[in-house]
A = this chain, B = another copy of it.
């Protein structure tokens, strides 16, 4: 059997099992999650052994240190995964929530949240995502098909077996958790992208290259996540201390995450005051500044920014800097280069704040706060499947509701039209 056939069989089995699973109660679904938390803890030894094999192999293959770190599990990290599962149990199940209304003709219409069906996720070598993503889908009554990075293959196989066993022991069909072994090349990912009618939504989690490949090639519905070319604009009226504090936080607290800023826009009237202080405040991070011509006159140690620097999500201690003459110019720059993730202004001018809020086209628009808050946990959703940078279905941090659709349930007593 070739790869495509194998993938379609796994998806088809998940689809068949999904109808039954979609009707399960919150109690039944929570029971699966609790069982998985217990079982992962009990099987820690086996999980860590498999993970050690993955790490050794990846290390031998020259996988860089920061990727090895994401791949690595230990007792503490397994406890963290189990804690997350238990928190998920306590969250409200969106399935069945909704509104009811009646029509003049006497129809009683309930618009309820319902599971999507089969959610497929393509992700990189992060074993915590294997459990986390599966649990979010199972909590919301969805079947799930996972295709993780090949460097985590041994770890994932053990995790999947533990979870499938729990699902069976809870009386459910283990086909609701499908796992696609990565194999060589992109064949299995391509097959997933084309599994129309079997996959209700595909969520790519990972690099921009992965996400672009999925968006351009998938015929199944996709939710785009992740890419964040975020900006901070320091207005002429800004409180400079607040602006410094926010700028340092937004860039340097965790530069590799999607809600960190990549470009700093500074109003020319405050640049001479602000930029030298900012350069000083970030010296300890060895932050590399890439500035426009005007920036270079104020911060001569900065490198010259090219056009492509304004298009780049550096995910590193690098920041593009540009001086602007107005909030309008700042917003025009943002709407040209941003990826629709998170954008912030520091200002004491209410009109400029309002202009920024109205005209910036992004999932999250901040006034006087750091972009780093764009996160399901920070927004109080309790769990997050990713941050959507698209406009359809879900935009911004996606909680459990983003893993559901709606269903109109109509009752009559013989009405015809």
Residues of A within 8 A of B (CB): 19-20, 22-23, 101, 103, 105, 107, 109, 116-117, 196, 200-201, 215-216, 219, 221, 223, 239, 242, 245-246, 248-250, 253, 335, 357-359, 361-370, 372-374, 378-380, 390-393, 395-396, 405-417
Contacts and interface: CB of A to CB of B under 8 A. Distances in A.
Given A20-B359, A107-B369, A395-B406, 11 more contacts: A19-B359, A103-B380, A221-B392, A363-B408, A364-B407, A366-B412, A367-B409, A368-B414, A369-B412, A395-B405, A396-B406
Contact of A391 (B200, B361, B365): B200
B395 A363 contact: no
A23 B396 contact: no
A408 B364 contact: yes
A101 B380 contact: yes
Nearest to A218: B219
A412 B230 CA distance: 18
B372 A417 contact: yes
Contacts of A410: 364-367, 369, 373
A107 B373 contact: yes
A25 B114 CA distance: 34
Contacts of A248: 416
A370 B417 contact: yes
Contacts of A116: 391-392
Contact of A361 (B117, B359, B368, B406): B117
Contact of A411 (B250, B359, B369, B413): B369
A95 B101 CA distance: 22
A367 B246 contact: no
Contacts of A414: 239, 242, 245-246, 368-369
A367 B416 contact: no
17 contacts: A103-B380, A201-B392, A215-B219, A242-B413, A242-B414, A245-B416, A246-B414, A366-B412, A367-B410, A367-B411, A368-B412, A368-B413, A369-B416, A370-B415, A395-B406, A396-B406, A396-B408
B416 A372 contact: yes
Nearest to A414: B242
Centre residue among A242, A250, A406, A414 by max chain B CB count within 10 A: A414
B378 A417 contact: yes
Contacts of A405: 391-392, 395
A93 to B, nearest CB: 15
Contacts of A101: 380
A386 to B, nearest CB: 14
A103 B366 CA distance: 14
A105 to B, nearest CB: 8
Nearest to A366: B410
A284 to B, nearest CB: 16
Lowest 6 CB-CB distances: which A-B pairs, in order? A369-B412, A249-B416, A391-B405, A372-B417, A393-B393, A392-B393
B246 A391 contact: no
A308 to B, nearest CB: 16
Contacts of A415: 368-370, 373
B23 A358 contact: yes
A101 B103 CA distance: 32
Nearest to A335: B19
A408 B221 CA distance: 24
Contacts of A335: 19
Contacts of A22: 358-359, 361
B379 A249 contact: no
B417 A379 contact: no
